[in-house]
A and B are shown apart, each in its own frame.
Chain A
């Protein structure tokens, strides 16, 4: 098993689908992703959610990265038809995937973490 670094920033509108797919495809290893909210001014409500760290390279290959488009047909097949190709294409077009550290990617997109009350 090998892992690669990925930073995934997902628009809030697509976050429920993304979370469901991560958990469905990766099981426990994919649960609990994309829970940290972001917005342009750091105030709620979240416009995006972020997860950054090491993921299995087999799952990273499903996602777009730079000029590589990802594997939407494979995601549909792995989901056993739970999602359509149109849904996956829309998700992969909306999500930002990079190898950058979290705060570098956030700065590039003009986003800040939403801070909760202590």
Chain B
């Protein structure tokens, strides 16, 4: 008599992580999927004519893998993030905290539903640093999908004409931390997650949102200019749609594989 011990895998695990990310955009959802470990998506110049072929090269164009065509570019040579590799063999874009950033098209725009997930390494604390943000370029105007570091904690901010949601404080950060951060908003509740766990919630309606700039590695603030990120970005997913728990978990698992945070 043979006794078979069947080990059944959950259906989601039978689909690759990359396929799960692609599925986030399968219905035409606006957004982007950036993956610095995929060198076929990286170019040294903003025109996309000179591929990145080695660690230590600047990235002037980073292609969006979601199918939405939201490629990020940086025309100014000295402002380009630099492809690097950490001791675990993982690839990331290095941002210096003073001038490096890369610019995607506006993707969240007026949407009241958003999810931004980033795998990062923290290089500095003690001031505001933009990981991803869409803003209207003024100090007090609209903000959408702003995932940033604020002094010593991570934060997710959505602000419109009628108010703001700002879950922060629960995701304490320190220099050299490696994190997967997730911000999401569904029009009523904003959540901030750190390394796969919910750490902060804020409720509220924000009213109409109107933004005119987007940035990776910076948040544009008229009062004093931009707040640049000092650290490493291992991957970034932006989605202008309400995302359920399974979708958020897929994005976090995928970016954790790129980042090695937990």
Assess the A3–B128 pair: CB atoms within 8 A.
no
B99: chain A residues at CB < 8 Å are 33, 35-36, 50-53, 102
Assess the B139–A6 pair: CB atoms within 8 A.
no
Tell me the residues in window 68-118 of chain A with beta carbons closer than 8 Å to chain B beta carbons.
Answer: 101-103, 106, 113-118
Assess the A32–B221 pair: CB atoms within 8 A.
no
In this complex, what residue of B is CB-closest to A6?
Answer: B78
- B225 contacts A by Cβ under 8 Å: yes
Interface size on B, residues (CB 8 A): 32
Q: Chain B 28-62 against A: per-residue CB contact (8 Å), 1 yes, 0 no?
A: 00000000000000001110001000000110000
Give the distance in Å from the alpha carbon of A56 to the alpha carbon of B127 in the complex: 31
Known contacts A3-B44, A115-B128, A117-B139; A52/B221 CB under 8 A: no
Q: Which of A3, A106, A114, A118 contacts B77 (CB 8 A)?
A: A3
- A62 contacts B by Cβ under 8 Å: no
Known contacts A36-B99, A53-B58, A53-B100; A28/B75 CB under 8 A: yes
- Say whether chain B's binding surface is mostly helix, strand, loop, or mixed: loop
Assess the A36–B58 pair: CB atoms within 8 A.
no
Query: Which residues does B use to contact A, with CB under 8 Å?
Result: 44-46, 50, 57-58, 75-80, 82, 96-100, 124, 127-128, 139, 150, 221-228, 230
Assess the B227–A26 pair: CB atoms within 8 A.
no
28 CB < 8 A contacts A-B:
A1-B45, A3-B44, A3-B57, A6-B78, A28-B76, A31-B75, A33-B79, A35-B99, A36-B99, A36-B225, A36-B226, A50-B98, A51-B98, A52-B78, A53-B58, A54-B80, A54-B82, A56-B77, A101-B96, A102-B97, A103-B97, A103-B124, A103-B230, A106-B98, A115-B227, A117-B221, A118-B128, A118-B227
A50: chain B residues at CB < 8 Å are 98-99
Q: Chain A 1-39 against B: per-residue CB contact (8 Å), 1 yes, 0 no?
A: 101001010000000000000000010111111011100
Give the distance in Å from the alpha carbon of A88 to the alpha carbon of B139 in the complex: 37
Give the distance in Å from the alpha carbon of A113 to the alpha carbon of B150 in the complex: 16
Assess the B77–A29 pair: CB atoms within 8 A.
yes
Q: Chain A 35-57 against B: per-residue CB contact (8 Å), 1 yes, 0 no?
A: 11100000010000011111110
Known contacts A53-B80, A115-B128, A118-B150; A44/B224 CB under 8 A: yes
- Say whether chain A's binding surface is mostly helix, strand, loop, or mixed: mixed
A1: chain B residues at CB < 8 Å are 44-45, 50
Assign chain A's interface to a size class. 20 to 34
Give the distance in Å from the alpha carbon of A101 to the alpha carbon of B97 in the complex: 10
Assess the A54–B98 pair: CB atoms within 8 A.
no
B76: chain A residues at CB < 8 Å are 28-33
Give the distance in Å from the alpha carbon of A66 to the alpha carbon of B223 in the complex: 35
The 7 closest A-B pairs by CB, nearest first: A116-B224, A53-B78, A117-B223, A54-B58, A29-B77, A102-B98, A32-B76
In this complex, what residue of B is CB-closest to A101?
Answer: B96
Assess the B77–A55 pair: CB atoms within 8 A.
yes
Interface centre among A30, A53, A103 (most CB of B within 10 A): A53
Shortest CB-to-CB span from B132 to chain A, Å, is 16
Assess the A29–B75 pair: CB atoms within 8 A.
yes
Assess the A116–B223 pair: CB atoms within 8 A.
yes
Give the distance in Å from the alpha carbon of A55 to the alpha carbon of B96 in the complex: 15
Give the distance in Å from the alpha carbon of A47 to the alpha carbon of B16 in the complex: 52
Assess the A26–B97 pair: CB atoms within 8 A.
no
